[in-house]
Copies of this chain bind each other. A is one copy, B any other.
Amino acid sequence: MPLINKLCIIGVGLIGGSVGKAVKKHGVAGHVCGVVRRKGALDEVIRDGAVDSATLDVADAVKDADLVLIATPVSAIVPTAVGFAPFVKAGCIVTDTGSTKVDVVKGLETVLASRGFVVGGHPISGSEKQGVINGKPDLFDGAPCIITATKNTNGAAITLVSKFWRVLGARIYRMTPEIHDAIFARVSHLPHFVAAAIMNSLGQAEGGPAQLLQYAGSGLKDSTRIAAGSPSLWRDIALSNRKELLKAIRDFENEIKKVRESLEKSDGDALEDILMRARALRSPLV
């Protein structure tokens, strides 16, 4: 017997599509229904093997689902829940894949209070690609997946959502939305905007950036890869995690200032110390 009778995935893009493919691969759900926004996507998501059925009608899709997974961009998660909340069955568990959690979980808990059980989720997929076509059933294999718990979170619901992601191959970490957002401001959101700032600073060079990029080694490529991500997605992530991201940016600005000041003073020992600390801090990241 599958873990879930009916799974409803709202937003069948890279993440939602990969979840669908992984769920079908591992036989986690009896039926996977996908909710898409474009009529043209209805056939596409079925043909691509991400879902068993597809619809544009979110109210209809959620009504007999045991688990609803909202895999839309961050800014659409709560508005989407507003739309379907009246239609979920009693005891339905609602989770999401959003990159920020404080705003999202607070919003979902408000919207779904007394109707469904909310468990915040954030699988760390690490792909800057988009679209169901790039979705892969092994996207979450070995990847961290954060499950959030608040004072309102139902214990059985958290167990089920954790089990769900574990079967998909993810390593589960449980924490509060607040701790999640503080951590991801630093390990994910900051590097994203730093990569963008590196690229934009190259745009300031004499002769223009195209002239520079032909000489780029893998260092620049790797260090700015995430700058290829979706601007509107990341704009919303930043706004949703504004306070923590601002803290992370200010700490980072202090560190880059130390580099500049050491270099202004031609202080080689200070520069080497900066690099040694960074290398030591990074050593667990192999």
Contacts and interface: CB of A to CB of B under 8 A. Distances in A.
30 contacts: A182-B206, A187-B217, A188-B219, A191-B198, A193-B274, A194-B194, A194-B223, A196-B259, A197-B255, A198-B255, A200-B258, A200-B281, A204-B251, A210-B284, A213-B285, A214-B284, A220-B285, A222-B226, A223-B225, A224-B282, A227-B278, A231-B275, A231-B279, A234-B271, A235-B272, A238-B271, A239-B271, A246-B264, A249-B256, A250-B260
Interface string A263-283: 110101001101111110111
Contacts of A204: 251, 254-255
Interface string A170-197: 0001000000001110111011111111
A220 B201 contact: no
Contacts of A198: 190-191, 194, 252, 255
A60 interface: no
A59 interface: no
A126 interface: yes
A143 interface: yes
Nearest to A273: B231
A228 interface: yes
A161 interface: no
A242 to B, nearest CB: 6
